[in-house]
Amino acid sequence: MSENVKEFTSANFDADVIKSDTPVLVDFWAEWCGPCRAIAPIVEEVANEYDGKVKVGKLNVDNENQMAMQFGVRSIPALLIFNKGAVVNQIVGAVPKTKITEILDTVI
């Protein structure tokens, strides 16, 4: 992971995501998931390009399955965009970078 991609867990989720002053993109993923590995470089690019405007991080659903269930994540990769503590958009599946940036641009 790049320095701009944080690791979210149940321990830091409330402080880093829910109470964040900036929008947050959370990538719900798992190591065994091929599409998750395919989208990982795109998530890192977005994190670098939106540094300072959007916080970007990954949440491993195998380690944090309660968090995944709490937010209704049934398929991965799932990218949830939080703003002011609430989910404002969701992208499921490995999508092109333009799809992610278009949605982020509506939140910042």
**Strands, E, within 1-108: which ranges?**
5-7, 24-29, 55-60, 78-83, 86-92
Q: pLDDT-derived band of residue 2, with 50, 70 and 90 as boundaries?
A: confident
Residue 13, judged by CB atoms within 10 A of its CB (0-12, 13-18, 19+), counts as: buried
- Does the pTM of the predicted model rise above 0.95? yes
- Cα(92)–Cα(69) distance, integer angstroms: 15
Over range 77-95, report the average pLDDT. Answer: 97
What does R_g of the chain's alpha carbons equal in angstroms?
A: 12
Q: Which domains are present in the chain?
A: 5-107 (3.40.30.10)
The upper half-sphere exposure of residue 19, i.e. CA atoms within 13 Å in the direction of its Cβ, equals: 5
* Bridge partners, 91 (sequence order): 79
pLDDT in tens, 58-67: 999 999 999 9
Give the residue numbers marked as catalytic: 33, 36
